[in-house]
C-alpha cells in the first residue's frame, strides 16, 4: 500500500519509482519508506511507502519545483539513497497517475 500525505492543492506533477528507479535491497524489489523534500527548503512534503515490488508514486507535485527523494533502510543495514533536484513529470493526468499506481498494486 502506498500512503501519502498531501498538502495544498493537488496538481498533475508526479515522481514515480518505476523501471530502474524502483526501491531495491540487494538488487531485489523492496518496500521501504520514502521521503519527498522540497530541494530548496528541505521541508518534508510527502512520505510514502513503496510497494513490495519497489514501485512508489508521489502525486500532486508542483512541476515548477525541484525535489529531493530519500529512501532509508529501517533495518539500518544500508545507507540512505537519495535522488536530488528532481523535477516532477507532468505527462499524465491525475486519473492516469492513479491508474498507474493501481496497476502496480495488481501486478
Query: Where exactly are the structural domains of the chain?
Result: 13-102
**Is 50 exceeded by the pLDDT of residue 4?**
no
pLDDT computed for residue 92 by the predictor? 87
Place of cell 521541508: 43
Task: Kindly report the pTM of this predicted structure.
Answer: 0.81
pLDDT computed for residue 1 by the predictor? 42
pLDDT computed for residue 33 by the predictor? 93
Three cell numbers written together for 26: 540487494
**Is 70 exceeded by the pLDDT of residue 9?**
no
**Is 50 exceeded by the pLDDT of residue 7?**
no
How would DSSP label each residue in 47-85?
EEE--TTS-EEEEEE-TTS-EEEEE--TTSSS--EEEEE
CATH number of 13-102: 2.60.40
Amino acid at each position: 500500500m502506498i500512503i501519502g500525505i498531501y498538502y495544498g492543492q493537488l496538481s498533475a506533477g508526479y515522481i514515480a519509482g518505476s523501471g530502474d528507479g524502483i526501491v531495491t535491497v540487494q538488487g531485489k524489489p523492496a518496500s521501504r519508506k520514502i521521503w519527498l523534500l522540497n530541494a530548496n527548503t528541505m521541508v518534508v512534503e510527502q512520505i510514502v511507502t513503496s510497494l513490495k515490488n519497489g514501485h512508489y508514486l508521489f502525486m500532486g507535485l508542483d512541476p515548477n519545483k525541484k525535489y529531493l527523494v530519500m529512501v532509508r533502510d529501517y533495518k539500518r543495514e544500508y545507507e540512505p539513497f537519495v535522488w536530488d533536484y528532481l523535477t516532477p513529470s507532468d505527462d499524465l493526468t491525475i486519473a492516469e497517475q492513479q491508474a498507474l499506481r493501481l496497476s502496480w498494486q495488481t501486478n
